[in-house]
């Protein structure tokens, strides 16, 4: 089933409105979604590494810059 919408002709404002409407719709579904067990385990492992000094917090802007450089 192909159900594509041509968005290239929309203005930036119209695209943002569509995106917000989609996000709003998805947030209603989030209440019924259960996070998988592996996700909770991964979060706990990260929290443990942070607490023991094996992990450090990186500023989001710095992280984005580093990731962009890595994947260029």
What confidence tier does 1 reach under pLDDT thresholds 50, 70, 90? Answer: very low
- Interatomic CA distance for residues 49 and 55, integer angstroms: 5
Cβ burial of 1 (10 Å; 0-12, 13-18, 19+) is: exposed
14-66, pLDDT tens digit by residue? 999 999 999 998 888 766 778 889 999 999 999 999 999 999 999 999 999 99
* Sheet strands (E) in 1-69: none
> What's the whole-model pTM score?
0.47
- pLDDT of 2 higher than 60: no
Task: Let me know: does 50 contact 57? Beta carbons within 8 Å.
Answer: yes
| N-term to C-term CA, the chain | 34
């Amino acid at each position: 089933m192909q159900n594509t919408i041509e968005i290239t002709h929309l203005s930036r404002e119209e695209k943002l409105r569509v995106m917000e409407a989609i996000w709003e719709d998805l947030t209603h579904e989030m209440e019924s979604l259960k996070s998988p067990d592996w996700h909770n385990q991964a979060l706990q492992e990260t929290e443990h590494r942070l607490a023991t000094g094996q992990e450090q917090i990186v500023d989001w802007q710095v992280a984005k810059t580093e990731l962009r450089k890595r994947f260029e």
